[in-house]
Amino acid sequence: MRIKTLVLTAAAATTLIVGCSTAEKAVDTATKAASSAAAKVAPKAKPKLMNGASAEMLAVTCAGCHGTNGASNGPATPTIAGLEEEYFVDVMKAFKSGDRYSTIMQRIAKGYSDDEIAAMAGYFSKMPFKPALNQTARSETGARLHEEYCEKCHEDGATDPEGIVLAGQWVPYINWTMWDFANGVSQINSKKMKKRFEKMIAEHGKKSITELVAFYGSRSK
Ligand code: HEC
Ligand code: HEC
């Protein structure tokens, strides 16, 4: 009598287990079907922002390095708030192609479509540039060099928010960026800037970069 109950119980248990794994298999098959259906749809849907993340959602990924609202806590990561929209797009493309040298950004930039980059460019360009103040003692030589070779495009001592701001950008970042230009590690897209930059180095030597960096890093407001 006792044995029979045990056997019955064991049989019941077996049924339960079998039932359970059958149910699991069913769920599994359904999931596979659903995900293969999703996979068929996904490649078409991905580049379209309407079906994906908003610029604000995309920008969350950048905050870990570039700071909340694009204002970096430095020193080797630039502030990206207030970057000119067109420049933002160009530099992301240059990171992708390697025209602009990067330690990190090539890999990151490659993860975004043109539409996503354009959306982020619009989003960050509308934020105010928040300068990192007084990182260096002001170089008068740097101020003069800037006036002669750079002011034409980077106006108001490179503080003009409508242009590409250099003054108050983090010093280690701007320093390496300029050395990468000077050493040909990064390409300067703007032909006119390339000419001016090369002229300055031909006439004043590479030490002019150090002077300029000291000028840009001395921003006080
Ligand atoms: C892991 C840190 C990290 C993350 C995350 C990151 N960046 Fe960067 N970013 C950098 C660094 C460092 C540089 C300087 C270039 C380099 O060495 O890679 C840079 C440079 C840039 C520049 C050039 C700025 C200039 O003044 O020329 C842009 C634009 C930029 N990042 C956009 C983004 C966007 C958009 C995201 C998010 C999708 C992002 N970054 C995520 C670290 C990061
Ligand atoms: C004819 C206009 C022009 C002149 C003159 C000019 N620039 Fe530029 N600058 C630009 C443009 C356009 C860009 C966008 C980068 C590019 O070429 O793709 C830029 C970008 C830069 C950047 C990269 C900014 C960043 O956030 O990473 C630096 C640094 C810079 N310029 C420094 C200088 C210096 C220093 C001088 C003077 C020796 C100078 N520029 C003269 C137009 C100019």
Question: What is 51-125's CATH topology?
Answer: Cytochrome Bc1 Complex; Chain D, domain 2 (1.10.760)
Q: What is the pLDDT of residues 43-87, one digit of tens each?
A: 444 445 555 789 999 999 999 999 999 999 989 999 999 999 999
How many A from CA of 162 to the centre of ligand 1?
20
User: Largest alpha-carbon pair distance within the chain?
Assistant: 107
The answer to whether 170 and 77 are in contact (CB under 8 A) is yes
Cβ(189) – ligand 2 distance below 6 Å = yes
Q: Given ligand 2 and candidates 86, 96, 153, which is best to mutate, with the most ligand atoms within 8 Å of its CB?
A: 153
Q: What is the pLDDT of residues 82-140, one digit of tens each?
A: 999 999 999 999 999 999 999 999 999 999 999 999 999 999 999 999 999 999 999 99
Nearest 5°: CA angle at 52, between 48 and 54? Answer: 105
Domain 140-216 of CATH type 1.10.760.10: yes
Residue 51, pLDDT score: 52
The whole-model pTM stands at 0.83
Cβ(78) – ligand 1 distance below 6 Å = yes
Closest ligand to Cα 202: 2
